[in-house]
Amino acid sequence: METRKVQLTGSSTFTISLPKGWAVEQGIEPGQRLELRPSGNGALIVGADQVTPDGRTTVDLGRFEDVSPEDVTRVLRAFYTLGCAEFEVHVGVGDGTEEGAPEPDGLDPALRRAVRTATDRLAGLEVAVEADGRFVCRDLLATEELSTDRLLSKLQFAALSMHRDATAALRTGDGALVRGMDDRHRDVRAELAAVERRFRRTLLDFEESGRLEGFDHVVVADRLDQVAAEADRLAGLVDGLGEGDELEAPVGCAAFHDASTGVHDLLEDGVDAVLSGASLDEAREVRERAEACRIAVDELADAGVPPRAIAALRRSADAGRDVADRAVKTSLHSPRVEPRVEAGD
């Protein structure tokens, strides 16, 4: 650890020097503006990214060679996750791709497409300005005003709706229930990114209350995304119904209905237990049901349910078990209620 002496410049400004080695590694140059973020515990976080005169954080990818669409996507997602309300990305000018030459403004079309695709898939993010390989992106959602509880509730509704519709379509053969399932899964991924983003923003304040709860929410959100992915796979079985694929006819057996409903209820109650800070006994009750759900799914093989459908439902049941485990853990640091003492015999 290095130390620096605070100097007084003029009559009212304190100054401190930066370690030159660190500054060179970060690409900091004389005259460059830096972002300073005071923390609640007295620490001062120095942002080494470039900042425009109006305070907008920027990054210039044009300084690097062979910038790929994947690089652009990672940068955009990183800025979004960190909670930047507005940021600027310079992607530079490419020299053509396998799909053709640069567009009239000199920008590689693959890089422009990467920016557009990323902003479309991140909830609330839009390109406000585009010019000469420069993209100003703006977040239209004030996620700092949304609690992780509210974000997770939205994600719970979206993922479990997909599960319910996919399993119902598999039972009835009604393809209309799973129409647009890919788009619905993308919406779930966007909600997951919002939960992750909200959690990371709390980490900027080392004394932010609820950090443990925030981590629990991220874990639960990830499991709900898994449920949405399995619903998408079940929808694929419905799309191939009667066309020589694994599923020749709807799965109309009562056992499949009961098992899929059990998984749905397990996930719903598990998430509710995490959000409400359920007691240890309540959380354990949900966890015990997880084992029964898994057994019910495994027994579907005896009912003639296609293996791919069983595998997808089993992974959703496992996600429900993980959520129930998280509910038990959160109950351990929830406010406890003292047991009532009844009069003895």
Would you kindly state where each structural domain of the chain is located, as residue ranges?
29-141, 146-332
Q: Measuring CA to CA, which residue among 174, 157, 163, 170 is closest to residue 262? A: 163
Secondary structure (3-state) at 36: strand
Q: What pLDDT score was predicted for residue 95?
A: 47
Q: What pLDDT score was predicted for residue 214?
A: 75
Task: Report how far residue 154's alpha carbon sits from residue 148's, in angstroms, rounded to the nearest whole number.
Answer: 10
Q: What pLDDT score was predicted for residue 282?
A: 92
Question: Which stretches of the chain score pLDDT less than 50?
Answer: 95-102, 206-210, 244, 336-342, 345
Task: Report how far residue 310's alpha carbon sits from residue 300's, in angstroms, rounded to the nearest whole number.
Answer: 7
Q: What pLDDT score was predicted for residue 228?
A: 95
Q: Does domain 29-141 have CATH number 3.40.462?
A: no
Residue 345, CA distances (Å) to 61, 339, 342 in order: 78, 18, 9
Q: What pLDDT score was predicted for residue 233?
A: 92
Q: Are strands 44-47 and 35-38 parallel, antiparallel or unpaired?
A: antiparallel
Q: Does domain 146-332 have CATH number 1.20.58.220?
A: yes
Q: What pLDDT score was predicted for residue 340?
A: 45
Secondary structure (3-state) at 54: coil
Q: What pLDDT score was predicted for residue 284?
A: 92
Answering whether pTM is above 0.85, one says no
Task: Report how far residue 288's alpha carbon sits from residue 121's, in angstroms, rounded to the nearest whole number.
Answer: 37
